[in-house]
Structure 1
Amino acid sequence: MPGKKITDHQVQKYKQHHLKLSQAAAAAKAGISERSARRIEHQEVLPSQRKERAWRTRTDPLASVWDSEVAPLLHTDSALSAVTLLEELQRRYPGDYGAAVLRTLQRRVRQWRALHGPEREVFFAQEHPPGRLGLSDFTVCDELAVVIAGVAFPHRIYQFALAHSGWRHAVVFEGGESFIALSTGLQSALWRLGGVPEEHRTDSLSAAFNNLAEQQELTRRYAALCTHYAMRASRCNPGQSQENGSIESRHDSLKTALDQALRLRGSRCFDDRVGYETLVATIVARLNARVAVRLMVERTMLRALPQRRTAEYEELPARVSKYAIFTVRGAQYSAPSQLIGQRMTVRLYTDHLECWLGDTRVLERARLTHCDGQRHPRDIDYRHLIAALRRKPGAFARSVLRNAMFPRAVYRQTWERLSAQLSEREACRCIVGLLALAADGHEAQLATELEQLIELDQLPDLFALTTLLAPRPGALPDVQIELPDLAGFDALLGASA
């Protein structure tokens, strides 16, 4: 066959068949051509016993420059590519070396590196006994292009895997690779698994390992987390991701499976985050089903869990200012006016925060993330400020929190139309009245009415909307409550005695 050398086995097979068959038939049986068969008839040695060819069939196009110019360049820097070397020869000898020389030069450079190049890194395959090693890592999943409630959902997935069985657990997170995210994901995986491996390995996560002076707290907290679960903490060398290859390969397989599931689903849009997290959990369960047998073996080798989880939050102090807002990690949140001046303890979780006064939880809010280039994102609940605004409606027009107070886009559009067509005083009174009506439990219904008014190009009538949405005096049923005769209880208790 063209391009393939005839082997000793083919020669022996041809000779065996040629004792009974014709030359053409024996050659076909051996998988060689008739021309090769005729040549074999005149040769006394097998192909492996022939002397190596010491001559060239074509003139060497690099003979004049290889030893004198190309090889010295490679000795200086072995990382030079054949394309770079060819371009250098073309600059030195215009017109002598065309593009057809590139393939020859690539072959010669590859051969030179094999004989004279530097030593290359050797990778050592590792054995992973059951129950010994668990691995953690985060991976960015923005390329999945997931959309939640009409808004792009940039996120990361934390993944924990057992090196022996390949069992995995995945958790969706917004924001960065924080210690809270690592702690929440790791503990969720261990309690789902029902046991603890001997060693826990990560790459150089800043959430776990960082030598900067201002980050020492993170290292101490990660060590305390591993101590709580009696795990030995380890990490791969910086820049050597192959040392954490057992988890890196699972990132690729998980994201590929998610991408295929989204394609099969026909849409990457979800109504809420729970829907997307349910899809991730389903895909992970399917992948884990493939390793169920190996997991049964490994589970028996895992260590027991502690009696309880450790804290999955970070505690920070925060003081509610006179503007009824407090700041946590650069993000601003509103609070009820009763908390102005109070110093709270904020428990910061991955997706929400809780505010405590002593042992009493006074507030819970969804956690904000620094996205879309916002330096100080704001989460302002208009219900916290509406009572004060009703007393000072004129403050609404130039409030720095104004744009963050609108509960829906239609309220913002209504304010823009009011401020453009009415005086500032009248516009403020109207929008504050509308927000007060929304705070009374009519936010969604009022939003529908405002959308219809915008379509009709009409301004809202606060009195008419209040009359429409507020309960009318006669609308509530008259409930009569009859109190029982207490003497009946005395008779009942006497009978039981």
Structure 2
Amino acid sequence: MSDLQKHSQRTSAARAGFSERTARRFDADPTLPSNRKIVHGRTVADPLEGYWESDILPLLERDSALQAVSLLRHLQGLHPLAFPDDRIRRTLERRVRQWRALNGPERDIIFRQTPEPGRMAQSDFTHAEELEVTIAGQPFPHLLYHFVMVYSRWEHVAVVLGGESFTALAENLQQALWSLGGAPQEHRTDSLSAAFRNLTADQCEDITRRYNAFVGHYGMEASRNNRGEAHENGAVESQNRHLKKAIEQALILRGSRDFASIEDYRRFVDILVARRNRQRVTAVQAERAHLRPLPLRRTTDFTEIVVPVTRTGGFLVKSIFYSAPSQLIGQRLRVHLYDDRLEAFLGSTLVVSHPRARGRGDGHRVHVINYHHVIHALRRKPQALWSSIYRDSLFPRTEYAAVWQLLQRDLPRRDACRRMVDLLFTAHDRACEAELAHLLADDLAAGRIPDPGLVASRLSPRQTALPRDVAVAHPSLDSFDALLGARA
């Protein structure tokens, strides 16, 4: 106002540090802004006037879940001339949001909890396809079983090949408890999806009984969150995201997402999880003081199935054929079914072990064959190899399969079967599967048809003679007296 005595309005405003428009407003009304009465008013006409009360509000009061865009389409259907486009969408969304805040139904509130040491552990299965891990160049679809102690955030992670089965839950949960060194008071999952399956009534009841017996063995209480309420299992749900992000970063640092075997990938995950757990040592030590002691022994963490061994030299488990030694034909085996393997017992003796396979989904039966089980019978009937339904599952390595393709293409049927069976028998009889595979690869690279006799002559000779002189050092009897004295 002082500068206006000597300068123009524009210059005075510039010298005061604000715009000419502000200067004009001050000239028109010298009242201080803090003393002015704020007048709220609409600068444009309400586009929903005449429609909100009659057309929109009754629908919202009937069902508040209606979205603003659905209401807009409803208005456009009733009044196409008044609402030819989506110009009022933001206005309608704002009006609906304000109505819900003032008149909408009560909403659920998340009550955050203070974790107690040793009180609760949570388990969950999470899909890991986004990690894009491959095994020997092949895609590797799998799940990650994730166990988390709520108080200390100590975690245990396992690679699961199948689905969310009771076997996968029990086996990996048990491993987590023994790695932790104690059991919490309560174990929670997301609606127990790994323990309750939509099967027949008898099977569902059996799985429920087994799960209750499992947690009872460790003195834990079994609980589950309400369906659709993932935040009730929030400790493990949030850790799932952090875990997969940590694995993703470790894979980037590794420079490759391909692993030679499943065991190599599992070792990679175990090292990563151990590194994450080292950051929680103090909290874990405090929590271990409140854990229940572990029982004297582990409990059953597998599914048991009794199967007969048929004349075809194997048995069926979940529509998948597994081979067995021919001496077991006619016997009934107790099969312990784990997530990644199965073990078959005759009485209490382990007689067969196989990696577990899954169905293909195209109707074709999957065969898991150990050529050691059938090679003697096949050597007596080599021509059976040509049309055997599990021929392609018989070869232990890719080199053997490649040799069969060559023999099948370049030799008569009888000679091809005889040569292939002789090569497999050599690998079995001389326990040289890997060494023989390297020799076969050399023949394939050189374009030669492998000859069993020539290939066998190139193998390393077996050590059959025992060493003549074996030095045995006899301890003096005085040394035993010294041991007795130390014990006393």
Aligned to 2:47: 61
Aligned to 1:365: 354
Aligned to 2:60: 74
Q: Which amino acid aligns with 2:427?
A: A
Deviation at 1:119, TM superposition (A): 2.6
Distance in 2 (CA, whole Å) between partners of 1:37 and 1:408 is 91
Equivalent positions of 1:160-175 (< 5 A) are 160-175=147-162
> Is 2:441 the partner of 1:451?
yes
> Is 2:79 the partner of 1:89?
no
Aligned to 1:349: 338
> Is 2:118 the partner of 1:128?
no
Aligned to 2:452: 462
**CA 1:109/1:142 → structure 2, altered by over 3 Å: closer, same or farther?**
same
**CA 1:241/1:427 → structure 2, altered by over 3 Å: closer, same or farther?**
same
**CA 1:420/1:60 → structure 2, altered by over 3 Å: closer, same or farther?**
same
Deviation at 1:46, TM superposition (A): 6.0
> Is 2:178 the partner of 1:188?
no
**Range moving further from structure 2, 200-209 or 170-179:** 200-209
Deviation at 1:144, TM superposition (A): 0.8
Equivalent positions of 1:314-329 (< 5 A) are 314-329=303-318
Deviation at 1:432, TM superposition (A): 1.3
Distance in 2 (CA, whole Å) between partners of 1:334 and 1:258 is 37
Say which SS state the counterpart of residue 174 (structure 2) adopts.
helix
Distance in 2 (CA, whole Å) between partners of 1:249 and 1:204 is 17
Say which SS state the counterpart of residue 336 (structure 2) adopts.
strand
1:160-213 deviations in Å (ceiling 9; x for gaps):
112222222212221111222211222222222222221111122343235851
Could you tell me whether the CA contact under 8 Å between 1:331 and 1:377 is conserved in 2?
Answer: yes
Aligned to 2:144: 157
Say which SS state the counterpart of residue 99 (structure 1) adopts.
coil
Deviation at 1:258, TM superposition (A): 1.0
Q: TM-score of the superposition, structure 1-length normalised?
A: 0.82
Could you tell me whether the CA contact under 8 Å between 1:24 and 1:34 is conserved in 2?
Answer: no
Deviation at 1:40, TM superposition (A): 9.8
Distance in 1 (CA, whole Å) between partners of 2:459 and 2:316 is 36
Q: Which amino acid aligns with 1:333?
A: Y
Distance in 2 (CA, whole Å) between partners of 1:450 and 1:303 is 57
* RMSD of aligned alpha carbons: 3.2
Identity %: 45
Say which SS state the counterpart of residue 322 (structure 1) adopts.
coil
**Range moving further from structure 2, 173-182 or 274-283:** 274-283
Deviation at 1:380, TM superposition (A): 0.4
Aligned to 1:388: 377
Distance in 2 (CA, whole Å) between partners of 1:246 and 1:38 is 62
> Is 2:90 the partner of 1:103?
yes
Deviation at 1:276, TM superposition (A): 2.0
Structure 1: runs of 5 or more not aligned:
1-21
Distance in 2 (CA, whole Å) between partners of 1:470 and 1:285 is 42
Q: Which amino acid aligns with 1:185?
A: N
Equivalent positions of 1:269-308 (< 5 A) are 269-308=258-297
Distance in 1 (CA, whole Å) between partners of 2:61 and 2:283 is 50
Aligned to 2:189: 202
> Is 2:102 the partner of 1:112?
no
Aligned to 1:403: 392
Could you tell me whether the CA contact under 8 Å between 1:27 and 1:34 is conserved in 2?
Answer: no
> Is 2:417 the partner of 1:428?
yes
1:374-420 deviations in Å (ceiling 9; x for gaps):
76422101121111111111111111121111222332333233233
**CA 1:209/1:466 → structure 2, altered by over 3 Å: closer, same or farther?**
closer
Q: Work out the number of aligned pairs and report it.
A: 456
**CA 1:148/1:226 → structure 2, altered by over 3 Å: closer, same or farther?**
same
Say which SS state the counterpart of residue 353 (structure 2) adopts.
strand
Deviation at 1:367, TM superposition (A): 2.0
1:134-168 deviations in Å (ceiling 9; x for gaps):
11111111211111222222221111112222222
1:216-242 deviations in Å (ceiling 9; x for gaps):
111111111111111111111222222
**CA 1:34/1:208 → structure 2, altered by over 3 Å: closer, same or farther?**
farther
Say which SS state the counterpart of residue 147 (structure 2) adopts.
strand
Could you tell me whether the CA contact under 8 Å between 1:128 and 1:163 is conserved in 2?
Answer: yes
Q: Which amino acid aligns with 1:209?
A: F
**CA 1:38/1:117 → structure 2, altered by over 3 Å: closer, same or farther?**
farther
Distance in 2 (CA, whole Å) between partners of 1:192 and 1:26 is 73
Distance in 2 (CA, whole Å) between partners of 1:233 and 1:35 is 74
**CA 1:147/1:44 → structure 2, altered by over 3 Å: closer, same or farther?**
closer
Distance in 2 (CA, whole Å) between partners of 1:433 and 1:191 is 47
- Identify the match of residue 441 of structure 1 among 431, 438, 449: 431
Q: Which amino acid aligns with 2:90?
A: R
**CA 1:107/1:27 → structure 2, altered by over 3 Å: closer, same or farther?**
farther
